[in-house]
């Protein structure tokens, strides 16, 4: 195994003393079926490898080990699903953030690869922020939605590239870990859901193969472009935050604080 000092799990105490980092990225994933063409750990692998790419571009940034399990109950009809209860995942994320805080780290970026994790991210981060207002926490809750705003409207061919194991997810996987993908087995179903409302489905109600969208339209070339745009965007945001000292307060709040005014004045 090749040692990578951007991976916190590779570091020794001597490494950390010689080159302490100021920020951490926490990748979150899941273990569940992504159809016959993607590995069960797709969400974790994607989040972790993207996090490492971002850390390469932002000084004094290191990556925590990926959390390889998520809230995946709605996918349980397909093998191989290992799921956490929402309250368990919320507690784990919160405990990780509290541990990071105890270690003196005040700047955290969460990079999430699985939709079922989003409620737990919201609850855990709000609780930790309320407990430690000086802690700065940012989150990429859904990289696939972030990409939607960054790519041309005609970039994807079917269903805007969306889907669990769909065109977008297989494409970025082909760019990040092609040796684990089997695009020749690609298959998916584009759901026909009613508009304007959010249907609370079990995944087996939407697909018979463990994947949605159209992964047959995925290409490594698309994935390379997706990775480049996404990594550069996240790294750019973190760099800008570093330059501002992670001070995102509005001017009115800064002025009030300078004058020593308080909420109950």
Q: State which residues form the domain around 60.
A: 8-258
Query: Does 54 fall in a domain?
Result: yes
Average pLDDT, integer, range 148-166: 96
The count of other CB atoms within 10 Å of the CB of residue 106 is 15
Assess whether pLDDT exceeds 60 at residue 126: yes
Instruction: Calculate mean pLDDT across residues 173-182.
Output: 98
Residue 63: give its domain's CATH number: 3.40.50.10310
In the predicted structure, residue 68 carries a pLDDT above the cut 90: yes
In a domain, 40, yes or no: yes
Indicate if the pLDDT at residue 264 is higher than 90.
Answer: no
Residue 241 lies in a domain: yes
Rounded CA gap, 93 and 176, in Å? Answer: 25
- Could you tell me the two tokens for 206? 């939407």
Query: Is there a domain that residue 263 lies in?
Result: no
Q: Which residue has the tokens 């980092």?
A: 21
pLDDT, the chain, mean? 96
Residue 83: closest CA among 92, 94, 75: 75
List the one residue out of 179, 171, 181, 178 whose CA is nearest residue 229.
171
Q: Express as a percent the part of the chain with pLDDT over 70.
A: 98
> What confidence score (pLDDT) does residue 262 get?
55
* pLDDT at residue 169 is higher than 80: yes
How far is residue 83 from each of residues 49, 202, 223, measured CA to CA in Å? 22, 14, 28
Split at pLDDT 50, 70, 90, the class of 263 is low
pLDDT value of residue 256: 82
SS3 of residue 111 by DSSP: strand
Question: Residue 261: what pLDDT?
Answer: 56
Q: Is residue 200 part of a domain?
A: yes
Residue 233 lies in a domain: yes
Which of 23, 12, 10, 27 is closest to 139 using CA atoms? 27
Q: What is the pTM of this model?
A: 0.96
Rounded to whole angstroms, the Cα distance separating 149 from 170 reads 19
Number of structural domains the chain divides into: 1
pLDDT band at residue 259 under the 50/70/90 scheme: confident
Give me the mean pLDDT over the 183-188 stretch.
98
Assess if residue 265 is contained within a domain.
no
Nearest of 36, 4, 187, 23 to residue 103 by alpha carbon? 23
Nearest-5° angle of CA 16, CA 90, CA 71? 110
Residue 162 covered by a domain = yes
């Amino acid at each position: 195994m090749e040692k990578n000092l951007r991976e916190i799990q590779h570091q020794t105490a001597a490494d950390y003393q010689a080159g302490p980092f100021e920020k951490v990225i926490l990748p979150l994933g899941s273990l569940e079926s992504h159809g016959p063409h993607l590995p069960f750990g797709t969400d974790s692998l994607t989040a972790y490898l993207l996090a490492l790419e971002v850390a390469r571009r932002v000084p004094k940034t290191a990556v925590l080990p990926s959390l390889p399990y998520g809230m995946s109950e709605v996918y349980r009809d397909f093998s191989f699903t290992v799921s956490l209860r929402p309250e368990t995942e919320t507690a784990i994320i919160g405990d990780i953030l509290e541990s990071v805080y105890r270690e003196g780290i005040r700047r955290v970026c969460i990079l999430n690869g699985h939709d079922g994790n989003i409620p737990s991210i919201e609850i855990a981060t709000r609780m930790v922020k309320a407990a430690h207002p000086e802690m700065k926490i940012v989150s990429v809750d859904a990289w696939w939605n972030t990409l939607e705003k960054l790519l041309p409207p005609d970039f994807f061919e079917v269903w805007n590239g969306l889907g669990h194991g769909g065109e977008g997810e297989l494409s970025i996987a082909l760019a990040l870990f092609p040796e684990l993908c089997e695009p020749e087995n690609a298959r998916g179903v584009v759901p026909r859901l009613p508009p304007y409302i959010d249907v609370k489905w079990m995944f087996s109600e939407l697909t018979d193969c463990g994947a949605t969208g159209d992964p047959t339209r995925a290409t490594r070339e698309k994935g390379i472009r997706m990775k480049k745009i996404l990594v550069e965007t996240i790294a750019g945001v973190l760099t800008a935050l570093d330059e501002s000292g992670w001070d995102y307060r509005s001017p009115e709040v800064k002025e009030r604080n300078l004058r020593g005014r308080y909420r109950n004045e």
